[in-house]
Amino acid sequence: MYDIVILGSGPAGLTAALYAARANKKTIVLGGDRLGGQMAGIADLENYPGWQGSGAKLAEFMKNQAETFGATVKFVGAKSVESAPENQFVVRATDGKEYVGRAVIVATGASPRKLEIEGARELMGRGVSYCATCDGFFYSGRTVIVLGGGNSALNDALYLADLAKTVKIVYRKSDFFRAEAVLRERVAARENIECLFNTDLKKIEPKPDSQDGELIVTTTDDKQIIVDGVFVAIGHEANTDYLSEDIKRDAMGRLAPDALPAGMFVAGDVHSDIKMQIATAVGTGCAAGMDAIAYLNKLQ
């Protein structure tokens, strides 16, 4: 039995764990299969105040800090969350065990939205990737496409530009309206980044007889581009499939705090109506932790 079960080991979950553990609440973090969530994939974290270094190192620092105050972190995922008698929740996890808590904080973040065009699923891991920092090394000196036009896409393009020979950003709008100005300026300054506006991808297929795994990418205006890899950065969907259908979600699968049952709280990218940033994840993690502490103190 735990006071607080936290789902997710990104910045939101680890912040909530720090606050819960420091309040002397018996706390466990079920961290999924990757410490830090999406933050762990950021090679050079520039926009989190007070930190210089990678997202993975920040995640490790946050984990160690929470553990110092008594929090337990286990790398298993949640399969379901059910209410139980006496103000309890039962979390069934991927390790086959059940974790019972008097409060639950949902901080499982979001995952990249998958590209739904011909060839995208079939070639995933064989030329199509959703993680530039994970797979960029394999495309050193080669030609790649980045699909998308937000901060994530431009960050991916800049990271890949240090490795690849040529990076082509394909975006369906006429400009990078959603991306930060500093990222737009950096992209414009890179000689090996080419921007293809007002277009999208329609089909991805292996190039016949290619010895190097090249791909033929067909755009919506029926142009064909020969590349070695396609990196997809077209947004995210909240990781909430394990929750019951009676818990209200928005179009992205995110949760509204005021629609949750008593004793359940939400933090980070899975929280509705917040900007998906590390700083906001930490802020909502703090709030969820404090709200859970206050909730448990009232039950005593």
User: pLDDT, tens digit, for every residue of 202-242?
Assistant: 999 999 988 889 999 999 999 999 999 999 999 888 999 99
Mean pLDDT (whole number) for 151-179: 95
286 is catalytic: no
Residue pair 87/102 in contact by the 8 Å Cβ criterion: yes
Of the pLDDT bands very low, low, confident and very high (cuts 50, 70, 90), residue 278 is very high
pLDDT recorded at residue 134: 82
Tokens representing 219 are 């755009």
Check 44, 134, 162, 175 and give the catalytic one.
134
135 a catalytic residue: yes
Instruction: Give the pLDDT score at 47.
Output: 87
| pLDDT, the chain, mean | 94
In the predicted structure, residue 167 carries a pLDDT above the cut 80: yes
Alpha-carbon distance 168 to 186, whole Å?
14
What's the Cα-to-Cα distance from 283 to each of 120, 259, 287, rounded to whole Å? 36, 20, 6
Evaluate if residue 300 carries a pLDDT over 80.
no
How many residues make up the chain in this entry? 300
Structure tokens at 137: 């090394």
What's the token pair of residue 281?
């994840």
Nearest residue to 50 (alpha-carbon basis) of 40, 63, 61, 38: 61
CA distance 129 to 121: 10
Token digits for 249?
A: 């979600």
Per-residue model confidence (pLDDT) at position 211: 85
pLDDT of residue 236: 85
In the chain, the largest separation of any two C-alpha atoms, in whole Å, equals 70
**Residue 286: Cβ within 10 Å count:** 16
Task: State phi, psi for 136 to the nearest 5 degrees.
Answer: -55, -35
Q: What's the rounded mean pLDDT across residues 189-207?
A: 97
Catalytic residue among 3, 33, 44, 135: 135
Choosing from 3, 44, 95, 131, which is the catalytic residue? 131
Each residue of 90-134: pLDDT tens digit?
999 999 999 999 999 999 999 888 999 999 999 998 999 998 988
At residue 34, does pLDDT exceed 80? yes
Q: Tell which phi-psi region holds residue 269, choosing left (phi > 0), alpha (psi between -120 and 50) or beta.
A: alpha
Rounded average pLDDT over 177-203: 96
| pLDDT for the residue 133 | 84
β-pair partners for 83 = 89
Higher pLDDT, 135 or 65: 65
Q: pLDDT-derived band of residue 45, with 50, 70 and 90 as boundaries?
A: confident
What is the 3-state secondary structure of the chain?
Answer: CEEEEEECCCHHHHHHHHHHHHCCCCEEEECCCCCCHHHHHCCCECCCCCCCECHHHHHHHHHHHHHHCCCEEECCCEEEEEEECCCEEEEEECCCCEEEEEEEEECCCEEECCCCCECCCCCECCCEECCHHHHHHHHCCCEEEEECCCHHHHHHHHHHHCCCCEEEEECCCCCCCCCCHHHHHHHHHCCCEEEECCCCEEEEEECCCCCCCCEEEEECCCCEEEECEEEECCCEEECCCCCCCCCCECCCCCECHHHCCCCEEECHHHECCCCCCHHHHHHHHHHHHHHHHHHHHHHC
How high is the pLDDT of residue 43?
80
Q: Are the beta carbons of 111 and 233 closer than 8 angstroms? A: no
Angstrom CA distances, 186 to 165, 189, 192, 234, stand at 17, 5, 12, 20
Is 134 among the residues known to form the active site? yes
**Residue 269's pLDDT band (boundaries 50, 70, 90)?**
very high
